[in-house]
Structure formats: structure tokens, C-alpha cells
Amino acid sequence: MDRETFHNCCSLDKMPRQIHQQHCSSHFIEYIESEIPYSKFFKNYLIPNQPCMFSKKFTENWNCRKNWVTVDGKPNLQRLLHEFDETPVPVANCSAKEYNSNPKQIMPFKEFIQYWREYIQNGHSSPKGCLYLKDWHMQRNFPGHNTYKNPIYFSSDWLNEYWDTLEVDDYRFVYMGPKGSWTPFHSDVFRSYSWSANICGRKKWLLYPPGQEEFLRDCHGNLAYDVTAPVLQDKGLYAQFEEACQPLEIIQEAGEIIFVPSGWHHQVYNLTTRYEDMLRMMQQLAVEDTISINHNWLNGCNLDIMWQFLQDELSSVQREIEEWRDTMDTWHQHCQVIMKSCTGIDYGEFVSFLKTIANIRISFLNSCPRNADNCEDLLAESLCALGPHHAAFDLQRVLQIFESMLSNEDFKRLDPSALSFKPEDLLQEIREAVHTIV
Ligand SMILES: O=C(O)CCC(=O)C(=O)O
Ligand SMILES: [Fe+2]
């Protein structure tokens, strides 16, 4: 990041995001044909929270684009079987609905491939339903395989950076879906961004700008499972459906990478050729065999959206258990526990997350290796590639959110001894580190 972008973007309040609540954005997605400077992606897509598509040039050197795909563009099942064999993988059943999602099971990779082969031979049907291998942490399980390389545009990724330090989880996934597989309507974990690259096959995305999901809830407040289902026409159930805008409908071809902005709800289908796509629409069938790599990620640009999400989640937990408020001394702690079990994070962990991200950048600015070639690991390499102004931008954003947290009533109620540090000390350190750059 250059000095100018840093100065222009530091205070995001000066650059409000587009408000989509009342009107919808264009029905076209911006297309990035070849390399653009990182700062352009940052200014045009990350900060305004707008979707875009990268051409297949951005994935042409990935090993999986060669190794996992046959010459006629189909998944190379033989090769995949050889590579992953008995590995346990998570598999969803798209034909069954469980709450607002699909039930999942773990099975050996080879069992999934066997199912997939039979499914294709059977004219894309099976008594087992349509199974979709999804949310598989392939990269984490096989770090040495060098399957793909994270493009620089998505490298300011605090979510994976933080969870990597804990060594328990990450948000980097592989999806493999036969014809008919799809992902129900949702937005991503903590309102993160996602990027998704098609290794082979095609996907159709239905994207709704933030706020539109409010029109896509039933009379109990639950989000629609399938935004294309006829039941949404039922005014008694989905009273506001007519107020929702048409979704941005995007076809993603093999090799292309889509950037899905923060809080944009989406529904995704795996498709095949354009002809079959037409047939699908006529017959109301979903079509094709697709492999994709999907990462969830967030950073200083959408940190405020995550923080707002956490506050909204806590408020809804508080509403749920309001009736016990006066009967329990530990009611506020309980709200945090419930929030953690529902969303995967509570306020205490959010603070640890911010602290970890800040400390890494403070050390980076203090040592400041300016040459990416001298960096020892991938994290240092990406900090170097993004440069000291990006690190300073990150710190500035942590500072702003930290200040907002410190004045938040629910945050003030947390047990201070649960924090292993004094927030004021960290804030001071951040200010000093940013000062060295400004
Ligand atoms: O590809 C899919 O089926 C779903 C992907 C998705 O929801 C995402 O990348 O955020
Ligand atoms: Fe998603």
C-alpha cells in the first residue's frame, strides 16, 4: 500500500459505504481481466465492499488447475483418489434440509469419490441424495501439496492469520460438488468476505447486497432457505419478499475467482455448459461437477462490520434470555457463553483477536524488513508485500474498533481479569507504532 492510499483510507468514516437498503446495485459485476495494482483493488472493492470477478489468468499457474482436472475440463477423480485416498472429509446432503442448512457427515474421501462415480453413471441421481463435499480444510491437512497460491489481493487476511496462531482451525476450504449440488442462502461467518476460485466446472451465484436479507425472512424472522422457492410468494409467510430487489446473478466460469463482499447474502449452484444451464432453468434442475477453493477472510476494511455483527448477535442472545435477567447475577456472562456457542466467538476472544493482529504489526513496524525476499514465513512475506503503510492502516483500524469497544456497555461488564493485558497500554503502543509511519 502506498502513502497516499494510507492517508485517504485511514478514516473509513470519511468514505461511507454505499447504502443498499433502499435501492439495488448494478446488475453487472466488474470484471478484472489482468493484474491491477493492489491499491486499486483496495480502493475500488475492499473499502466500498463491492463484488468483482477475476479472470482465469489469476489461477492459470495453480497446480490444482492442471492436476485436478482432465483435458476435457472434468474433475480428475482418479488423480484425486490417489492424492487423498482414506482422508476423512465433511460431506453435506443437499437433498435434505436441517434447520437452514444441510445435514453433514464425515466419510473417507474414497467413499465420496465412489459415490460421485456412481452418481454420474446413474445419470446424476442416487438413492443417497445429492452429496456435496464442502468446508474441507484440505490446505491445513496437506500443507506440503502446494495446490494453489493465495492472490495478493486477498492476502490481508486476519481471520486465518489469527486462527493459524491458535493452530486449531482455519477458514480455507475445498468444495467438490456433483451436478445438482448447491449451497442454501446465507452470509459468511462473522460477516467475513469470501473469495472462491473454480478449479473446474461453473457456478451460479445469487448475491444480495447487505440489508436485503431483511426482506427475505419468514414471519418468524428466519432467513429463507432457498430464495428461489415458490413458498417465498406466500405473503402470509414472507410478507416483505416483494420489497427485495432482484439478486445480482453471476455465472462463474472455470478458473475465475469471485470476490464476495462482507455481509452480502448469497446462494450458490454448481452448473455446467450454457446449454445445460438453459435446460436447468427449463427443468428446474441444478447441474454439474465442480471443484472450488473458497476462503473466508477479513481485515481492517470490514472489521467494523464484524464488530457490528458481534453487537447484533449479543443483542439477540440478550433478547432470547431477557426473562432471566433479574434472576441471575451471572446473566451477562451467560449471554457471552451462549454467543460463543452460537457464533464461535465472544467479546473476550474478539479482544484477543485484535491484540494478536496488533502485536504482529507492531513488531513488523519495529523491525520493518522492507524486502519481501528476506521474509522467513508466509505471514511475514505477506506483511512485507503489503508494506508498512498497510500495517499502519491495520493498526489504525484496530485502534478505532478498540476505542469503540472500550465505550461499549457490554464490554465494560466483562471481567477485567479475564484480559491478560491492559487495553490502554496496547492502545498506547499502537499509537506509537503508527506514529513512526505517519
Ligand atoms: O460454492 C458454494 O457452494 C458456496 C460457497 C460460499 O458460500 C462462499 O464461498 O462463501
Ligand atoms: Fe458463503
The finding on whether 299 has its CB within 6 A of some atom of ligand 1 is no
Cell representation of residue 222: 428466519
Closest ligand to C-alpha of residue 188 is 2
Our mutation pick for probing the ligand 1 site, out of 194, 227, 257, 262, counting the most ligand atoms within 8 A of Cβ, is 194
Whether 276 and 153 share a structural domain: yes
| Pair 53, 195: CB distance under 8 Å | no
CATH number for the domain that contains residue 242: 2.60.120.650
Per the listing, cell 455465472 goes with 251
For residue 23, tell me if it sits in a domain.
yes
Helices (H), 21-76: 38-41, 63-67
The finding on whether 68 has its CB within 6 A of some atom of ligand 1 is no
Q: Considering 237, 266, 297, which residue would you say is the last residue of a domain?
A: 297
pLDDT at 125: 86
Our mutation pick for probing the ligand 1 site, out of 94, 196, 269, counting the most ligand atoms within 8 A of Cβ, is 196
Whether 353 and 334 share a structural domain: yes
Range of the domain at 101: 16-297
C-alpha to C-alpha distance for 247 and 234, rounded to whole angstroms: 19
Q: Which residue has the CA at smallest separation from atom 3 of ligand 1?
A: 183
Whether 180 and 89 share a structural domain: yes
For residue 48, tell me if it sits in a domain.
yes
Q: How distant, in Å, are the alpha carbons of 156, 160, 161, 270 from that of 167?
A: 19, 10, 10, 32
Length of the chain: 438
Nearest residue to 218 via CA among 234, 203, 207: 234
For residue 10, tell me if it sits in a domain.
no
The finding on whether 252 has its CB within 6 A of some atom of ligand 1 is no
Write out 182-232 in H/E/C secondary structure: EEEEECCHHHCEEEEEEEECEEEEEEECCCHHHHHECCCCCECCCCCCHHH
pLDDT at 12: 59
Our mutation pick for probing the ligand 1 site, out of 175, 181, 185, 227, counting the most ligand atoms within 8 A of Cβ, is 175
Whether 167 and 286 share a structural domain: yes
Whether 291 and 379 share a structural domain: no
Q: Considering 274, 297, 320, which residue would you say is the last residue of a domain?
A: 297
For residue 8, tell me if it sits in a domain.
no
Split into its structural domains, the chain has a count of 2
| Pair 84, 171: CB distance under 8 Å | no
Whether 228 and 162 share a structural domain: yes
Nearest residue to 293 via CA among 49, 68, 41: 68
Query: What phi and psi values does residue 198 have, to the nearest 5 degrees?
Result: -85, 120
For residue 9, tell me if it sits in a domain.
no
Whether 291 and 363 share a structural domain: no
Task: Specify the ligand 1 atom closest to the Cα of 186.
Answer: 7
For residue 172, tell me if it sits in a domain.
yes
User: CB-based contacts of 142: which residues, under 8 Å, 6+ apart?
Assistant: 83, 84
Task: Specify the ligand 1 atom closest to the Cα of 295.
Answer: 9
DSSP lists the bridge partners of residue 326 as none
For residue 204, tell me if it sits in a domain.
yes
Q: Considering 244, 272, 297, which residue would you say is the last residue of a domain?
A: 297
Whether 146 and 62 share a structural domain: yes
Whether 377 and 401 share a structural domain: yes
Q: Which residues of the chain have pLDDT under 70?
A: 11-26, 272-288, 368-376, 438
pTM here is 0.92
| Pair 156, 38: CB distance under 8 Å | no
**Beta strands across the sheet bearing 290-297:** 30-32, 52-54, 257-260, 193-200, 290-297, 172-177, 131-136, 88-93, 104-108
The finding on whether 183 has its CB within 6 A of some atom of ligand 1 is yes
Whether 251 and 346 share a structural domain: no
Whether 386 and 421 share a structural domain: yes
The finding on whether 185 has its CB within 6 A of some atom of ligand 1 is no
Whether 310 and 253 share a structural domain: no
Task: Specify the ligand 1 atom closest to the Cα of 196.
Answer: 9
For residue 1, tell me if it sits in a domain.
no
